[in-house]
Amino acid sequence: MQDRHIVIIGQGYVGLPLAVAASQSGRSVFGVDLDKARVDGLNAGVSPVGDVSDADLREQVEAGRYSASTDFDCVADADVVVLCVPTPYHNDAPDLSNIQNAAREAGKHLTPGTLVILESTTYPGTTEEVLLPILEEASGLTGGEDLQVAFSPERIDPGNPTYGLHNTPKIVGGLTPEATERAQAFYGGFVETVIPVSGPKSAEMSKLLENTFRHINIALVNELAVLCRDLDVDVWEVIDAAASKPFGFMPFYPGPGVGGHCIPVDPMYLSWRVKQFGGAAKFIDLARDVNAGMPLYVVTRVQDLLNDRERSLKGSKILILGVAYKPNISDMRESPALPLIDLLRRKGAHVSYADPYVPVLRAEDGHVLAAQDAITGATAADCVVIVTAHAEVDHVTVTSRARLVFDTRNVLPADGERVYRL
């Protein structure tokens, strides 16, 4: 194994699973993170990420194969440096400051022959046009000669019990054939399948295609859910019926919006990039509008259901059941529960929530809410809105205590009297 000393910058949902997997393959791994409290916890064998157990992390720490630091000095000894830093989308534009800062700091310590891999999701061209120039300026090295650079999109799906880092194919695209081969060999030590592509742009674009595909199809079924409501058709029945076709159809399901860092954000990178060249991404922008409008649609449905019972939304007690962006994890990034809570509060509703994975949340207006007991909250509520269907929540028992339930996730059968679905 040629590349044995690894530095992974960013020890969150992407970087930490990668670091542990690399160290389990026998490599020496340093995890760099600017959060000192997180670094102290990592070195004590405490994982902040649900997909990495404390036991697995502690095993690597105690074996001396993994350690964490806030210092970039360890880059000087690295054969491979991987950047796994956040790439948020702010003010209708990509925010690449974390990539730029990490590249600048790492570049100061790079030595000839190092392979640098970017995993952070971004628009096509970032590796060559943003990352490479910073690395070259900071290090004095030349890309493609004494410095190898590649892109490999992260494909972590938090909480997925079937597909993890080991058995999800890894795409790699280097600036040179040598960079691609080295990246392929690096990931091949702990990933079952590694797929090389012609270069970084193709690798960057592949990640955006994956999540743009999902983003647009979710928007389609969200719009279909609204149409089916107007047509007095059960959208869930329709989707299940269509899914019986063994070819040419892939089921997607409606909901109160889309969440996570990937689906709501990645397509916007592509849309922004296209607009830099005077183009337009019409499907992407329309899908964003449809999905972003779902929290308001949920509020409207809840308001109508309360009106049918001669109650005003203003002053009503609403329990949000599940606030994480997807089931069985604590991740709140871009969760549709946040705009939903904000809209309800602005209309005068008294909002509480129950979620076994999220003990405290900060609403969009800065208001801090603490999780309620699900059964107690449901008993007191005028309406329970199921937003995230965690497996460990007994939805039947919890909602049996409720006066009214609006289910956005098809957890319960609709009865037309007390339980209603999206």
Outline where 120-265 has alpha helix (H).
126, 132-139, 177-188, 200-231, 235-242
Q: Using CA atoms, how far apart are residues 212 and 49, in angstroms rounded to an integer?
A: 26
Find out whether 297 and 226 touch, Cβ atoms under 8 Å.
Answer: yes
Find out whether 273 and 125 touch, Cβ atoms under 8 Å.
Answer: yes
- In degrees, rounded to 5, the angle at the alpha carbon of residue 339 between the alpha carbons of residues 422 and 405 is 35
The CA–CA distances, whole Å, from 70 to 130, 135, 285 equal 23, 19, 39
| CB neighbour class for 307 (10 Å; exposed up to 12, middle 13-18, buried from 19) | exposed
Query: What phi and psi values does residue 221 have, to the nearest 5 degrees?
Result: -75, -25
74, 84, 228, 262: the active-site residue: 262
Task: Compute the half-sphere exposure of residue 151: CA atoms within 13 Å on the CB side of its CA.
Answer: 27
Instruction: Respond yes or no: is residue 383 known to be catalytic.
Output: no
Query: Across the strands, what pairs with 171?
Result: 195
Find out whether 83 and 116 touch, Cβ atoms under 8 Å.
Answer: yes
Task: Compute the half-sphere exposure of residue 332: CA atoms within 13 Å on the CB side of its CA.
Answer: 15
Local structure of 172: helix, strand or coil: strand
**How many of the other CB atoms lie within 10 Å of CB of 79?**
19
* Tokens matching residue 343: 């809209």
Local structure of 175: helix, strand or coil: coil
Q: Using CA atoms, how far apart are residues 359 and 213, in angstroms rounded to an integer?
A: 33
Find out whether 401 and 385 touch, Cβ atoms under 8 Å.
Answer: no
AA identity, residue 320: I
Find out whether 171 and 153 touch, Cβ atoms under 8 Å.
Answer: yes
Catalytic residues: 262
